[in-house]
Amino acid sequence: MARQIVIPGDLVAEQALKIEHSYIDNGKTYAKVLGLLDTEKGTIVPLEGIWSPRIGDTVVGIVTGMRSTVYEVDLDFFGRSILIGSKYDRHTYKIGEVIEAEVKDVEDRKTIILTRPQSLFGGTILSVKPTKIPRVIGKANTMVQQIAAMTKSNIIVGNNGLVWMKGGDIGLATAAIRKIESEAHTQGLTEQIKMMLEKGTTNA
């Protein structure tokens, strides 16, 4: 597989191509992030970066404020995130409560409106670089499902970079996710994680 490191402004293609994490200028395609260019697949895998919220994203957050039926939720995001309750919502969320929710709307790229909240009781939260979250999830959720099944842990991965875990071998699940985060750009990672989980050791 042909891969090369690109930095913002590097030429990706001599023609205009629709590639995520790139931009088009004068009919040519350029990288707009530091990442790995896969010339065979025509994709760019970011090595660093922040979460760019999209409608439909699953997020994990902590309720930090409340005014009437409007809740402020910390998503470890530079903007503001709110959940608007209604008379149909029988649950009152408390300060410090962890929730899973879905991004309903993004206003001016700085205010996130949440919907479909679900309380997550107990457990622990792990912070992961948002650019590595797709690798933690895997194609069709295969990676996270493998980790959950082999560690017997309940795991919910937020696109915002917060991962909630409860029960089972949390230590092993954490080690597996950290390995994915640090080696997301390497080939054969799925098999490496599988072997690590089968051995039941937190050593990489």
- Is the domain covering 58-120 a CATH 3.90.1300.10 domain? no
Residue 109 burial by Cβ neighbours in a 10 Å radius (0-12, 13-18, 19+) = exposed
Would you give per-residue pLDDT tens digits along the chain (204 residues)? Answer: 467 888 878 899 999 998 988 889 999 999 887 788 888 888 887 777 778 889 999 999 999 999 888 999 999 887 889 998 765 566 788 999 999 999 999 987 679 999 999 999 999 999 998 888 999 999 899 999 999 999 999 999 999 999 999 999 999 999 999 999 988 777 788 899 999 999 886 655
Q: What predicted TM-score, i.e. pTM, was given to this entire model?
A: 0.76
β partners of residue 183:
none
Q: Which helix (H) or strand (E) holds 168?
A: none
Are residues 93 and 63 in contact, defined by beta-carbon separation less than 8 angstroms?
Answer: yes
Out of 3.30.450.20, 3.50.50.60, 3.30.1370.10, 3.40.50.300, the CATH code matching 124-199 is 3.30.1370.10
Q: Which residues lie below 8 Å from residue 109, measured CB to CB, with a gap of 6+?
A: 53, 79
- End-to-end CA distance of the chain: give it in Å, rounded: 24
| CATH topology identical between 3-46 and 124-199 | no
8: closest CA among 49, 52, 51, 38? Answer: 49
Query: What CATH fold (topology level) applies to the domain 3-46?
Result: OB fold (Dihydrolipoamide Acetyltransferase, E2P) (2.40.50)
Using CA atoms, how far residue 72 sits from 94, 100, 107, in Å, is 11, 13, 15
Q: Where are the domains of the chain?
A: 3-46, 58-120, 124-199
What is the residue whose two structure tokens read 């919907």? 115
Calculate Rg over the CA atoms of the chain: 19
**How many CA atoms lie within 13 Å of 49's alpha carbon, on the beta-carbon side?**
21
